[in-house]
C-alpha cells in the first residue's frame, strides 16, 4: 500500500490495517518455518507496510500536538 493512500485513512482504519498486517506477518513467518511459504518476498513487503503505517500514525500524532 502506498503512503499517500495511508495518509487518507482515519486513525481507526490505520490501527486496523496495522493489526491485520502484523497478523499476516505472523502467518507468513509460520508458513516459512513449516516450509509452506512460496513467496518469501512477501515477508519483506509486509514489514515495509507495517513501517509505513507506523510512520504515518506518528506523523498524525505529531500534527495533533502542534499548537
- Cα torsion through 15, 20, 23, 29, rounded to 10: -120
- pLDDT tens sequence across 21-64: 999 999 999 999 999 999 999 999 999 999 999 999 999 999 98
The structural domain count of the chain equals 1
The pLDDT value recorded for residue 2 is 87
- Measured CA to CA, the distance from residue 31 to residue 55 in angstroms comes to 27
Place 66 in a pLDDT band, splitting at 50, 70 and 90: confident
Helix (H, G, I), strand (E, B) or coil at 36: coil
- Which residues constitute the domain of residue 36? 3-65
Q: Are 35 and 3 in contact (CB under 8 A)?
A: no
Indicate which CATH number applies to the domain containing 35.
Answer: 1.10.287.310
Amino acid at each position: 500500500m502506498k503512503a499517500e493512500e495511508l495518509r487518507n485513512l482515519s486513525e481507526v482504519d490505520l490501527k486496523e490495517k496495522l493489526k491485520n498486517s502484523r497478523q499476516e506477518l505472523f502467518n507468513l513467518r509460520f508458513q516459512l518455518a513449516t516450509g509452506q511459504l512460496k513467496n518469501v518476498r512477501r515477508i519483506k513487503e509486509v514489514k515495509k507496510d507495517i513501517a509505513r503505517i507506523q510512520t504515518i500514525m506518528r506523523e498524525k500524532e505529531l500534527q495533533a500536538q502542534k499548537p
